[in-house]
Amino acid sequence: MNKTKSFPENFLWGGAIAANQYEGGYKEGGRGLGPVDFLPNKDEDRVHVMYNPHLAMSQTFDYYPSHKAIDGYHYFKEDIALFAEMGFKCLRLSISWPRIFPQGDEKEPNEAGLKFYDDLFDECLKYDIEPVVTLNHFDTPIYLYEKYDGWTNRSVIDFFTNYATVVFNRYKGKVKYWLTFNEINILQVLPFLGGSFDQNKFENPTQAKYQAAHHQLVASALATKIGREVDSNNMIGCMLAAGESYPNTCNPDDIWEAKMMDREGFFFIDVQVRGHYPSYSKRFFEEHNLTIHQEPEDADILKNTVDFIGFSYYSTKVVSGDEKVLSSAEKTDGNIFSSLENPYLPKSQWGWIIDPKGLRITMNTLYDRYQIPLFVVENGLGAVDKIEDNGDIIDDYRIDYLREHILAMDEAIKDGVDVLGYTTWGCIDIISAGTGQMSKRYGFIYVDVDDWGKGTFKRSKKKSFTWYKELIASNGDIM
Ligand code: BG6
């Protein structure tokens, strides 16, 4: 048995889900729609549609996974009881913006939506589970896409801050930990999910993306300010899709390319932690012909910096600066970013590189760079689970993945990194964001639904359920 003692007493062990992948109930309680509600599943070419939102808006598909998801809208009490049984100290979830403001630009919120989250947070607090709440997890109301071109339009900042003000006030005393935008850097890759706009509509898509990024950074800083004014106990963080870029070789071109790749994400965190644009952005904007429109007050607004850095970690990536290698080498999938193959490491069934030590490396890099607490708010293995004849699900592969990553996190803490907590992604099986599949399962709890929404929705415990329960009970000592 490995004995590790580095996790602090108040370490926030738990799990993470997101409204659009968990709740379903897509029209219940007066909810409006979000981008994900227009996405089909993998078999109907979800990935292609995500990059071409005009298809999402103009075509009808046979099945929309988010509409029912795993029906958390009705099952949440049962699910939270199971999380409590595992001893969760926290549950990361998101508020669906279109549940609170169905269009996004209304002045007054939808009471039924607010009440739903009151009930949900109360249920968590009943078991002393601390909610960790993301304000925007791929959930900018679709009306804002249609009417305003989403985050490319500055007006969306006001709509977002109105929404943030409402939920900060409503849940004061119930929610202390907040994240502003989930994986804010996803905007550069999947602007429909991250920013509710179609980059194909713009003459210079990069310009549109960085303008939208500026608006989100201003909105995030304003939300941070408002959150603190409403309750000085609030802890407000940013959220990065993280994972170190490794150079393919020691060729300086590869080293530089890896640095550039990491900067794409750090760009956001540099602003959110330091309160101003990084020095390297000037040259980047010039060379890409980008003119980011800023209002005079923005520089001051951005000074409202975050308390901690939340991040997702699934894998590292391998990067090359050599055109020949890039055009000929094998590539593999990853969370948001694809990568060259890493011959030293295994991959998941979905081709994501499995690199526990990469978590330690990533955490050290983030902490060296920013020196504020980190929160690992997503980590986990998407895998196909098999149900044995007796109903058991022996997910040793998931246990192994999580154990190795938690051990790597332990090493990072021993390296001196300050970490608030760890929430495994998809602690109960939910819809995959990337593929829309249910068969890509991350949970400790199995949900009987297939890729086409068929099933009983019955919840059952996998082997990893007991393992994680014991791990939490021992504060990470028993792995
Ligand atoms: C992150 C997202 O990108 O990765 C989650 O924040 C997502 O919403 C997770 O579910 C895992 O990706 P996928 O595609 O396996 O669901």
The DSSP annotation for 420-465 comes to EEEEEETSB----TTT--SSSB--SEEE---TTS-S---EEE-HHH
Sign of CA dihedral 195, 26, 105, 134: negative
φ, ψ of residue 323 in degrees (nearest 5) = -55, -40
Checking DSSP bridges between strand 331-332 and strand 374-378, what pairing results, if any? unpaired
Is residue 383 a contact partner of residue 349, using CB atoms and an 8 Å limit? Answer: yes
pLDDT higher than threshold 90 for residue 5: no
**Which tens digit of pLDDT belongs to each residue from 351-370?**
999 999 999 999 999 999 99
Q: Is the pLDDT of residue 233 over 80?
A: yes
Q: How many A from CA of 104 to the centre of ligand 1?
A: 24
| Distance separating alpha carbons of residues 426 and 348, to the nearest angstrom | 16
Cα distance between residue 116 and residue 121, in whole Å:
9
Q: How many of the other CB atoms lie within 10 Å of CB of 120?
A: 24
Query: pLDDT at position 327, please?
Result: 85
The single-letter DSSP state of residue 244 is: P
- Is the model's pTM score more than 0.90? yes
Quick check: 3 pLDDT over 60? no
- Domain boundaries in the chain? 12-473
Task: Please name the residues in contact with 34: beta carbons below 8 A apart, sequence gap of 6 or more.
Answer: 20, 66, 96, 97, 98, 138, 139, 140, 141, 142, 196
Question: In sequence order, which residues have a C-beta less than 8 Å from that of residue 36 and are 6 or more positions away?
Answer: 20, 21, 66, 138, 139, 193, 433
Which residue stretches of 127-246 are H helix? 142-148, 155-170, 191-195, 205-230
Q: For the chain, what is the mean pLDDT? A: 96
* Contact 183 CB / ligand 1 (< 6 Å): yes
Residue 199 has a pLDDT of: 96
Residue type at position 430: I
The reported pLDDT for the residue numbered 297 is 98
Which pLDDT score, from 0 to 100, does residue 4 have?
60
What pLDDT is stored for residue 280 in this prediction?
97
Instruction: Note the pLDDT tens digit of each residue in 316-362.
Output: 999 999 998 888 888 888 777 889 999 999 999 999 999 999 999 99
233: exposed, middle or buried (Cβ count in 10 Å: 0-12, 13-18, 19+): exposed
335: tokens are 């969370």
Rounded distance between C-alpha atoms, residue 100 and residue 103, angstroms: 9
Distance 356 CA to ligand 1 centre (A): 18
**Does any ligand 1 atom lie closer than 6 A to the CB of residue 425?**
yes
Q: Tell me the fold of 12-473.
A: TIM Barrel (3.20.20)
Q: Let me know if 378 is a catalytic residue.
A: yes
CB of residue 378 inside a 6 A radius of ligand 1: yes
Catalytic: which of 23, 123, 378, 411?
378
Tell whether ligand 1 has an atom less than 6 A from the beta carbon of residue 270: no
pLDDT tens by residue, 287-299 = 999 999 999 999 9
* 2 pLDDT higher than 60: no
The Å distance, Cα 107 to ligand 1 centre, comes to: 31
Pairing of strands 445-447, 459-461: antiparallel
